[in-house]
Structure 1
């Protein structure tokens, strides 16, 4: 049995990782989360009673707390997902992104390095620090540009992307300078159940369910590669367990769609599953709004390395994963309604931004 410490395990991707580790493997999970606005422990109700799961409320910047926890639980793998991640919020208030994503990662690395130095024998050999990052660190692609691969130069556009790029560089520096055994993964846009409803897909689903306008940046022409969150969770555990130390792995779904295509597909699926009383099309709810600053045109992932070296494949197509996601939101208002009813400060909430 491997003991994983997952930072940010009450967030969207982190909770999917925790659920997968508990229900799909025999490993132990220590979930460390500061419970900021996007964290939600109700996303973990399915595993919260398991003897192989423990939740600890703590900030990654609390180095002494993290160091003590690592020793107490005899952690084998640290999977670092804790981050501020909403691009629009980073434009309106970058300070928290610098603090969490850069300073927090540094402080976590130092706590982990101190712990790793005292490990011996097999425990030292099998220890890994897995840093989970984003394709946004690579910057924009042209419409005919080759997809991002692991050697693509970094060119972040937003404060969020810049803060994640900095954290990626810190992790690799701790490997090269101190020998810390790390792996890094960069993923494309995730979607799926339990997605915090300020992001494109859940926001559009819920607005469309309620017959509200669907504001979309620009003309909806920006292109993203979409990855079902449970496929991502499987990939992350695989990278942590079998990835080569000092190596990066791009994880993508090979599902490029324009934002407009995504929104139109959601509208059409909801029209089929829950028709409007007047029989009209939800596409009529789409409203184009002024674009955000520095909005990258296109992201696309070349996932050949993880596919060929580790044997991973996405199980969901965009269509199958999106329908599962829509059905989940339709059937689980008890999860999302309290979030929709609460006011959140900061960010351009209400705009359908990926």
Structure 2
């Protein structure tokens, strides 16, 4: 593969993948992004002009998508509406982007024969009890809880159907929660970091005991590239890094790394349908494709992420007021 098309490549994990590919391979990359509030051209700065191209457009635009598919060897599909709170207040964009958009890409893959990798989330599996010893596997039944996770589940099922019914050359990956540089400040970790920078106490839903399985975005990117290059067509691979932490643990680590007392946060009313625990069994990826995460030390990863947000206020500051205004409406 010499030429990749990356949908949603101006977003957090999409832009991380673009940087990773251009820094670690000789491939050329085209990004297709609508530039909604979550996408930023600033996240694509510093890339080599001779191997990078940006196209502003909508993944629901069938003619544009088919034209781009025909000009590339493979497509990695990151574009999605992905914030649970936003899906509760306005689910329509999630249905349009995550379902109609993925359908449009699959039809383009069907027409052109282009290899497709679909990025999804562990949230399609619902949640686990806090004391459950099990983890999600590729065979865990889907049980989504929110408009966001249900539309991602639907998009996964579309990919599986197009592989089986039409022979589309596609793979799927479901990843745990990502953290790292260039993540929008509405998301959990950057919101807490930027609040502390602004002298605002972090807030946690419920009792803060909800558990997420964290992975550094660079590890996610390396896993996706491995699946793209070596994954078996029609297969699903879970991507994780054994990073289970409660939301309370995460906030306390952030506070400690930022020199603030570890109890300097508040608990607020829980959000509807708040999943209890996510946990990923990524042994298939390890055993079949010989992949391992590099960022095993979560505290060190958080320290580096804090340092990035401290050093890049010009990147996140324009997003902050709007994001906090949305949360103010709900009291969160």
Coarse TM-score class (shorter-chain normalised): over 0.9
Q: CA deviation at 1:100?
A: 0.6
Structure 2 Cα separation of the partners of residues 159 and 314 of structure 1:
30
Structure 2 Cα separation of the partners of residues 339 and 345 of structure 1:
9
Give the aligned partner of residue 326 of structure 1.
306
Alignment coverage as a number of residue pairs:
330
Structure 1 Cα separation of the partners of residues 197 and 330 of structure 2:
16
Q: CA deviation at 1:326?
A: 0.9
Counterpart mapping for 1:333-352 below 5 A: 333-341=313-321, 343=322, 348=327
* 2:290 pairs with 1:311: yes
Structure 2 Cα separation of the partners of residues 19 and 54 of structure 1:
13
Q: CA deviation at 1:46?
A: 1.9
Pick aligned residue for 1:302 from 277, 281, 284: 281
Structure 1 Cα separation of the partners of residues 326 and 31 of structure 2:
27
* 2:82 pairs with 1:102: no
Structure 2 Cα separation of the partners of residues 128 and 25 of structure 1:
18
Q: CA deviation at 1:282?
A: 3.8
Q: CA deviation at 1:346?
A: 8.6
Structure 2 Cα separation of the partners of residues 312 and 249 of structure 1:
11
Query: Where do 5+ consecutive residues of structure 1 fail to align?
Result: 117-126, 272-280
- Matched residue of 1:224: which SS? strand
How far does the alpha carbon of each residue in 1:228-248 deviate from its partner, in whole angstroms, 9 at most, with x for none? 001101111111111000100
Query: Where do 5+ consecutive residues of structure 2 fail to align?
Result: none
Higher relative contact order (CA 8 A, sep 6+): 1
Q: CA deviation at 1:70?
A: 2.4
Pick aligned residue for 1:79 from 76, 79, 84: 76
Q: Residues 346 and 169 of structure 1: is their aligned pair in 2 closer, same or farther, counting only changes over 3 Å?
A: farther
Q: CA deviation at 1:335?
A: 1.1
Give the aligned partner of residue 61 of structure 1.
60
* 2:127 pairs with 1:147: no
* 2:220 pairs with 1:243: no
Asked if the contact 1:20–1:234 (Cα under 8 Å) also holds between the matched residues in 2, the reply is: yes
Asked if the contact 1:203–1:350 (Cα under 8 Å) also holds between the matched residues in 2, the reply is: no
How far does the alpha carbon of each residue in 1:11-40 deviate from its partner, in whole angstroms, 9 at most, with x for none? 000000110111111111010000001101
Asked if the contact 1:135–1:299 (Cα under 8 Å) also holds between the matched residues in 2, the reply is: yes
Give the aligned partner of residue 285 of structure 1.
264
TM-score with structure 1 length normalisation?
A: 0.90
Give the aligned partner of residue 168 of structure 2.
180
Structure 2 Cα separation of the partners of residues 259 and 349 of structure 1:
20
Asked if the contact 1:19–1:46 (Cα under 8 Å) also holds between the matched residues in 2, the reply is: no
Give the aligned partner of residue 234 of structure 1.
222
Give the aligned partner of residue 171 of structure 1.
159
Structure 2 Cα separation of the partners of residues 11 and 155 of structure 1:
26
Structure 2 Cα separation of the partners of residues 113 and 222 of structure 1:
40
Q: CA deviation at 1:213?
A: 1.9
Structure 1 Cα separation of the partners of residues 283 and 91 of structure 2:
33
